Structures are given as C-alpha cells and as structure tokens.
Structure 1
C-alpha cells in the first residue's frame, strides 16, 4: 500500500494546480485521474478547445469583414471543418501533455483510474488502495440539463458534444444564454449557422451588470444571433433528421416551436462526485448538491478537503486553481487564502466581456453610495485601428472613499484588461490611483484609465 501526504482526486485546473503546489511545498503527492489525459474538463472538453474554435472563427470573421478595409485582398477563405477540429485537438494535446510534463518535473505521481474513498485516509483506484494523510476532492462538474430535455450527444448535445460536431449545422438552437451558450453560439454563427438562443430569464448572462448585458445583447444581435428571453423550454425532441424545441413565452404563456439541426443544452453545470462514496462516508452536502466545506476547505470528514466546481462558488477554472493553491499551503502549515471579492469572470466572444467585483445592480440593491466612471472604446485610438471600437469600460467606486468596488468591460481584449483592475482592487486602490497611473499609448488599456478618470474630474478623450 503506497502512502502519501496528500492524494488529490481529479486533475482539472484545481486538482493539478493543487498537486503541483503540494509537491513544491515538500509534500509527497499523488493525483488520481481517470481520463486518458490530464487537465480535466477545462483542457480536454471545455475552456481550451472552445477558445481554439473561438479564435479560428474570429479569424474567419476578420477575413470576411475587415481584411479588405486594410488592403488585404484575395479570395475569401473556405472553412475546412475537419481541419479546424484537428487544430483544436492539437491545442488540447499540447496543453494536456504540458501538465503531464509538469507532474514529472515536480515528482507528482499520476494514479490512473477512477477513485473511491472507502474510509477516511484511504483511496482505492482499481484493485489498489493508497493511504493518505489528507485527501482533496477536485472532481469538477458535468453538464446539467432541464426537465423535458435529454442529451443524446447527437442531435441534442452538451458543450462537450458541441465541440466535436460532425459538421457545421445550418440551424442551431442554444438553450441558455450564459457564458457557454453564447460563446459556442457565436462560434457557429461566424461559421454560417443560423443561431437561436432561448433564455428563461429576461436578461442574458445572469449575474452580469445589466447595462453591460443590454449592450452585449445588442452587439450579438448585430452579429446575427437571435436571442429570445423569457422563454421557458418545455421539451427538446430528437426527430429523424432534426430536433424540435418547444418553449413558452413567459410574458403571455404562448407556445412556440423551433426546429434545428442541432440543439445545444447550455443550462449550467453540476458537481461531479459520483462513485466517490461520499454518502457512505457521511460527507455533508449543501442544498444544491455541492460538498459543504468550512473556510479552510475542510469537509465534515476529518482529513478530507474539497475545492473547485465540487463546492460552492462560481464554476471557474481560475477560482479552482486559487483554491488548489490555498489548500496546498494549508496542508503545508501555511495560511492559504482566496479573496473571493476579486475573482474576474470573462466571456470570450468578440467583443469580450469581463467583470470583477460588484455590479451597479448589486450596489443599488444594497443601498451603498457609489459613483460610475465610463469610457467608450470609440474614443480609443488603438481600438478604432483594430475595427474593435464597440463597447465600453465601466468602473464603480465608493462615493466617499473612491475605493474601486467593481469593474465591467465590454470590448477588445476585455479578458486581459480586467486584470489591472483586479490588482488595484486586491491592494484596495482608489479610482484616482488607477487614473494617475501612466498607461502606454496607443493601447486598449488606456480606456481603463479614462474610465477611472471619469470617476473624478472627467475623461480626456470623451
């Protein structure tokens, strides 16, 4: 029986980062993973492959709409779908092999197979049982569906199936206007599909600042996505050669149907903990089926910890990574910590959407006095040169102290721009601190400075 200081179950972003950090801190570490490759959902069938397709389809869009304006003339490129999928698979392989290299470099043992925890301190994989002083559950999540909709990964697919369709659909119905639905919907819209998005709520991207959400929806509509909000999906039926979705509009209870070659179910995700033996162990769960943990990621069973999508909080790879590092530090006798007030979220469409901290809606609801600084990318020289001047930066600051409370960006490179605001918030900076920081010209990041200036005496270029 092999013995370890810590065994991590799951090699997604939370698990593999936790394993590497544990090993770096001197703990004898193993990581259990049943997939043929490391990296979990994110690297294999989630974040990484979807970004590859987003990048490829965005290049197609640029060639169709902007190349000629820049003097780049030639025959329009043709889409070779199989080659695009091969490119996506190569990106996956490069990343997953990279994690395998890091495991070897840091002396992390990869135990291949699916884990069960028969009792505290023991992990069984196949016919072998391993002993561990501590066990960390980092098993991630899986796609969730809704009543009346059964995923078959043929006509009615999850995000996993949507990344490997045999051909580009002529008509695609997306159920759910969250991050996954809008990202993959935009991919297929750029590739020529007629995309209809059905969302139960009255706003797309639930939880996003409502002003950003309205502008974002308008831009997606210009790109050809039909978005129907207030649509309660009743069923999705797989017919012989197509699928049919039935939904009711909540505003008048009228029933409608829409046919499609493919239906993408993007109604969220749920913790993946089957087979671990949590019930027999007596592990406490939340009312939503997540593993309940204390502020130090301890479960109700001594020596058993949990992180990432399996516990409460936003299902984000970088949130899981931070928790993985925090747990590793705790197990090594340090004081691991995650600042949940400063975790950015990004939607990788074009334009991108990025957010961190409070929304204007939440500040109004709490009654907190605040001020808003906004700046349109139309006033940013670099964005205009890139044909990417849609959108704006919005910074929310405390009305009295000027401390930055939140920020929201709709525009080019939003997923990169948000991080200087994250750093500022991490150190308790004011909008004036950001405004007085010199930004290189010409860059898209100048829009962030201008929005900070707008919290004070006013932006320069608007």
Structure 2
C-alpha cells in the first residue's frame, strides 16, 4: 500500500460474507475502506438468496413437520395448517433484518458503501457504474479486494432454460408461490438436499437425481449412507449414478432425462418443478481482470498466493472466487486474514479446520478428514462412534437419529476428523473444530466435563470410544 494520494486504503468489490467482513475488520484496524455493491442491499448471495433465507425456510418447514408428526407424542394436540405466504414473509423479514444489519455496521465503522458494478481499471483504480446512466465514478485506492462470490453453475454440457417458476435455480427455489405436488432436484449436494427437504416437508414428492453414487459427495461415507436412508424414510427418492442429459419444459411442468453413469438406457421423468442445484461457479466476469493482467484458472477462479495476493501488486481476492470450499465462513476467515495482512499483521487461515454443515433435519456436520481420505493417504487411524439413540437428551427430544464419529491418529491420538449426523450437529461441531485447531486428542475431549443431559455428551462419548470405551454404549 504505497500510493499516498489514494482516497482509500482498501476498496472491496462485493459485500457478501467475505467482502463485508474484510471491510469491517480493515476499518477496525484503522484503514479507510469503501465497498462496491451492485445489489440494492448488502450481504451478497448468502444473506439475500442463499444461506439466510434458506435457513429460515428450513427451520419453518421443520417446525411444520414436527407439529404434524411429533407433537402428539409429546402430549401436544394440534392440527397444523400450512400458510406458505406467511412463511415466505418470515423468510423475507429475516433477510431484511440481516442486510439492514450490515448497512448499520458499515455506518458504525465509517465504511463508504458505493452502489453500482465495479470494474478494475488498473492497480489502485476501481470504476463503478451505477444504473440509470450516471457518469461512472473512479475510486482510487491502495489495495483492491475481489470478493464477488459465486453464481449458479448449471449443468455441464446441458442447456438449461431457467424460468424462475418451472425450471428453477436455488435463487428461485426459496420463493415458490405454492408447494408443487412433485419436484425433481438435479444434484445431491448440500444445496439440493437442503432445498429438496424443505419442499418435501411442505408436501412435495421429491426425487433427487445425482451423478455420483452417493449424496453429499465429499462427506464421510458412513454419514452419507446413513443420511440418505433417513431422507428416504422422510419420503425423498434418489436416482444415484445418473448423468443428466436434458432438462425441458413440458405441458404439465418440466422433465429431466438421464442415463446411468455405468451404462444403460436413458430415462425421462417429469415433475411440476425442476430444481437445478449442481453447484456454483466463481463470479469473476466483467471485472476487467484480463485487461489488468490478473490470471484465472480453468474454473474461472482468481489465482492468488498464500497471502491472497494476485500477480498484480495491490490486487487481492478471497472467498468463492478463489480455490477452496465455497462456504461463507471460509470467506469470512479469509476476509479477516487479508484485512490483518493489509494492516501489517500476520493474518492466517487454517484450511484443515474449516467445518461444513448441511442444515437438513437431521443436520450433518463435518470437520477435518473423512475416513476415505485417511485410507487413500495411507494414514493409520482409529475410529470411535456413538449413536444418539443412547443419549438421554436426544430421547427426551425425540431426536435419536444419527451418530458422532471421531477419527484420530493411531499413534498420537490427535484428532484428524469429526463427523456428526444428528439434531444440532452444526452447533456441536464447533467444539471439535476448537479441539483440532489446538492439536487436541480424542482423550483431551473425552476427559473434558460436559453438562448433563445434553446432546453434546454424545460427542464426548464418541471421543471416549476412540481412545478407550464409551460409558453408555
């Protein structure tokens, strides 16, 4: 950061979790910051059409399902009636509260928000073009952070005509005006199973078509297998090992044509709505990267060094536009690390301890290596498992599905990975991440007192099962 004539120390392009966190942290460290955002509201995909609205619908649909199926067992007699418009209002209200919160934090930290589409003219210059034909504004800055996130990827080699109603992306699937009788979800990853489970609980007959022979591809095999069985019990159908070759609108809705990856005859199935949830791609188009000499890889991601710097001095990138898992919290950590680096500190992200969560019912949470990865790497390990059926709190809550699984080094007992399938897994994974961040062993966690009765006792029991034996199993 050498240009003393610059108006800003840092200009961030994009206000998603990576961008807004980077901006706030940099401002807290004394830098003068501006954020360029093309949406009307801050927060990027995550707060506007991704993480936040989908979780509002996941929670609401889970409450509806519990009222229908579990309340009577608890001695609560109700006759629930779905009010989808009000559920969508709750979703929209939640989004507004969060995006308004970011605007407040920008004001509190004296961050200038600049509305419009940002383009890098040169190192140290960001041109912002607003809607309405106004003259573009040029922001001069010592450093530029590219945090433009990701966009819907579509299906490789298949043309998909999204219409927002019948053939929809994840952006559209959070705002369907009525519950479809049938839905096909193309893609058995996190986005597909989360949104598919929402509409399944609300009454749709959901079929998931997935290219791989398992759902949640990168997840631990034990978790993936058990998770799929639970979703089948909930009424979701799966067509695995299926390569989609076509998505088309029909008189009654839309159809999906696929063929077995292993070979065989093609099949076409129809539904009222087809949700294409085959992942996301880095959104780096229109930023002027080629013109200023910032290279991208074959996936369109910005190439950076270990300190998030591109080959052009003063231009950095974080979040979904660079390598690594497309997770909001990964982007946030990179944003904090970059802000610290720009302020002369030692920013760092431990990529081996980034948790991943699937917010279905039950949840799936993971941190560190899977058993398959350890086997492939030839690492000697030991495993310990504990089922929630043996946990007193889980029984009391009627949430006994799933288990906790620990993987630890066979010689040192250092924890290498933890995988949880169960109610509240996304919260319980946190203590495992802390344990791994400090190089802890399964014995360290097992000898740490946990409150009783809690679901987290299952985490402790799984740790006990890894270095010795569990008490309640």
Tell me whether the two structures share a fold, i.e. TM-score over 0.5: yes
Selected match of 1:108 from 103, 108, 111: 111
| Counterpart position of 1:132 | 141
Matched, 1:449 2:460: yes
Query: Cα deviation per residue 1:150-170 (whole Å; 9 max; x = unaligned)?
Result: 123221111001011121111
Tell me the secondary structure at the aligned position of residue 195 of structure 1: strand
CA distance in 2, matches of 1:84, 1:268: 26
User: Which runs of no fewer than 5 residues in structure 2 stay unpaired?
Assistant: 130-135
- Give me the TM-score of the superposition, normalised by structure 1: 0.99
Cα distance, 1:2 vs structure 2: 7.2
Distance in 2 (alpha carbons) for counterparts of 1:149 and 1:58:
34
Any idea what the Cα deviations from partners look like across 1:207-237, whole Å, max 9, x if unmatched? 1001110000000100000011011111000
Determine if contact 2:284/2:300 at 8 Å carries over to the other structure.
Answer: no
Answer whether contact 2:362 2:423 (CA < 8 A) is retained: yes
SS at match of 2:65: helix
Cα offset, 1:239, TM superposition: 2.1
Partner of 1:99: 102
Matches within 5 A, 1:17-416: 17-74=21-78, 76-126=79-129, 127-146=136-155, 147-150=157-160, 151-416=162-427
Distance across 2 between alignment mates of 1:189 and 1:278 = 42
- Runs of at least 4 residues of structure 1 off by over 6 A? none
Q: Which residue of 1 aligns with 2:132?
A: none
Q: State the distance in 2 between where 1:102 and 1:459 align.
A: 46
Q: Deviations over 1:92-124 (max 9, x none)?
A: 000000010000011111011110111110011
Distance apart, 1:251 and its partner CA:
3.2
**What is the rounded CA distance, in whole Å, between the counterparts of 2:400 and 2:24 in structure 1?**
41
Deviation by residue 1:377-428 (Cα, 9 ceiling, x = unmatched): 0010001111110100000000000000000000010000001000000001
Mapped to 2, the partners of 1:386 and 1:29 lie a distance apart of 47
Cα separation, 1, equivalents of 2:18 and 2:141 = 19
Do the aligned residues in 2 keep the contact of 1:149 with 1:237 (CA within 8 Å)? no
Task: Provide the secondary structure at the position in 2 that maps to 1:133.
Answer: strand
1:25 deviation in Å? Answer: 0.2
Q: Secondary structure at the match of 2:20?
A: helix
Residues 361, 423 of structure 2: 8 Å contact kept: yes
The worse-fitting range, judged by mean Cα deviation, of 42-51 and 152-161 is 152-161
1:69-99 CA-to-partner distances (Å, cap 9, x unmatched) read 111113x211111111111000000000001
1:440 maps to 451
- Structure 1: gaps (5+ residues): none
Work out the CA distance in 1 between the residues paired with 2:59 and 2:159. Answer: 30
RMSD (Å) for aligned C-alpha atoms? 1.0
Q: Work out the CA distance in 1 between the residues paired with 2:303 and 2:237.
A: 39
State the alpha-carbon separation in 1 of the partners of residues 330 and 264 from structure 2.
Answer: 39
Q: Distance in 2 between matches of 1:330 and 1:457?
A: 43
Match of 2:133 in 1: none
